[in-house]
Structure 1
Amino acid sequence: MSLRDLSVLYLIAGLAFAVAVYRASPEGRRRAAFSAALCVPLWPIWAPVALTARRAEPGAAPGTAAAAARVQGALREGVSACAGTSFEALLSREAAARIEAEVARAAARHAELDALLRQGGFDEAAAAARVAEIERGGGAGSGRALATAHLHLENIRRLRAMRDRDARALEELADLVQALRTQLVLARFAGSSVEGVGGIVSEVWARVEGLGAAIDAHGGASSGEPIET
């Protein structure tokens, strides 16, 4: 096959990927077209990135699900590493199961909040635009309407803050549990003391209890109950 033939095939593949990226994009036409245009010359590099990113967006918080999976995997490896050793009391199977359950609860709440905030009635930009519209209009009765619009906007912002806080907490916990896993493995093979592992175990439990407290304190916010202001 000649260089020209290879070039034609490369171009055809680039055009095919460009069409796929454009159709899969949930963004505006301008950004979708730009992303598709990049696929024509750079499809081996750009197409996998663009298509994977597009698939991840509509789902139930894939980043948080990945963090929960990291916690689960690290916990199981950590339990295996300390089984039958003096560290077993620090991370038993029962303790790991409790941590997994709390992480699953947090991930589920994050996914629920994320799905909720994707609905039209929870669009922060639209709520802010409504506030600005009332402020510009003025007139009789605008004071009460403005207060209601501000309340709606503030509630959306609080929900977004809760969602983002959950995501950060799960990511940080995943990193911490992975560090615990490596420390347990190191302690087993290097003969480190139990005291050297106890500190990070305590930190893990503190983070887990923080997740649970946040869910219990704000549980009504993702189940349709009004947010107090």
Structure 2
Amino acid sequence: MSLRDLAVLYLIAGLACAVAVYRAARPDGHGARRAALSAALCVPLWPIWAPVALTAGRGESGARPGGAGGEAAARVLGALREGVSACVGTSFEALLSREAASRIEAEVTRAAARHAELDALLRQSGFDEGAAAARVAEIERGGGGAGARSLATAHLHLENIRRLRAMRDRDARALDELADLVQALRTQLVLARFAGSSVEGVGGIVSEVWARVEGLGAAIDAAGSAGYEEPIET
């Protein structure tokens, strides 16, 4: 099977997932736009986003479809494809080859998957920051006769939730900043192609993209090797 055949199969699977996600959302009124965005994200990111979107109805009703990480990842992948196309057959092809784009896509997909996992986790009732903070306040007021040990446990639980939230938000910011940068790279490459700009004018932004991508990968690898503290239920 050729690469083109695989791409067609991937697209068909993405479209099928998009239809399933849209139908599962049962869009109504303002929800139609939200459901359409969630379905659109499934086309390029169906292995990551479809499972999350299809189970989102069992989470909090106010959750954003796709989340910031999924939206940013979709922007990165779209801009990368256009950037690679703009480079084909030009002197810029060595700066952003298909192989290089594949490596960037792999890191972005990995970061988006972690963000989606953290986002889904933090929607669960056991990871409610407000409830955890309320429990700390209750113990500090002396409610239920809880002692110092219970207070320490409640504080640890709250701190763990806040650390997980900080990780999720940091991933979202990193993906969003990378998306802006890759979109700028795309327009720079298109401009260079038609205006005849030099390779040197594009090299700087390519280097910055790689620095951001390597930063994403390093953050995920560091978190994976260190692990994180499991929140303790009180």
- Same fold? TM cut 0.5: yes
Give 1:92's aligned residue.
97
1:78-157 alignment to 2 at 5 Å? Answer: 78-137=83-142, 142-157=147-162
Residues 183, 197 of structure 1: 8 Å contact kept:
yes
**Structure 1 pair 107–131 and aligned structure 2 pair: CA distance change class (3 A):** same
The number of residues matched between the two structures is: 182
The runs of 5 or more residues in structure 1 that have no matched partner are: 1-23, 26-46
Deviation per CA, 1:137-163: give whole Å up to 9, x if none: 079761111111111100000000100
The runs of 5 or more residues in structure 2 that have no matched partner are: 1-25, 39-61
Asked if residue 216 in structure 1 is aligned to residue 217 in structure 2, the reply is no
Asked if residue 67 in structure 1 is aligned to residue 72 in structure 2, the reply is yes
Give SS of 1:148's match. Answer: helix
Q: TM-score, normalised by structure 2?
A: 0.70
Aligned sequence identity (%): 77
Deviation (angstroms), 1:61? 3.1
1:40-55 alignment to 2 at 5 Å? Answer: 48-53=29-34
Q: Which moved more, 1:149-158 or 1:137-146?
A: 137-146
- In structure 2, how many angstroms separate the alpha carbons of the residues matched to 1:95 and 1:159? 31
AA in 2 matched with 1:77: E
Residues 60, 111 of structure 1: 8 Å contact kept:
no
Give SS of 2:95's match. Answer: coil
Residues 34, 65 of structure 2: 8 Å contact kept:
no
Q: TM-score, normalised by structure 1?
A: 0.72
Larger-Rg structure: 1
Give 1:226's aligned residue.
229
Deviation per CA, 1:85-139: give whole Å up to 9, x if none: 1111110000000000100000000000001001111000010001001100079
Give 1:39's aligned residue.
none
AA in 1 matched with 2:130: A
- In structure 1, how many angstroms separate the alpha carbons of the residues matched to 2:144 and 2:76? 55
Deviation (angstroms), 1:58? 4.8
Residues 139, 146 of structure 2: 8 Å contact kept:
no
- In structure 2, how many angstroms separate the alpha carbons of the residues matched to 1:74 and 1:144? 52
Residues 86, 190 of structure 2: 8 Å contact kept:
yes
**Structure 1 pair 54–150 and aligned structure 2 pair: CA distance change class (3 A):** farther
CA-atom RMSD, angstroms? 2.6
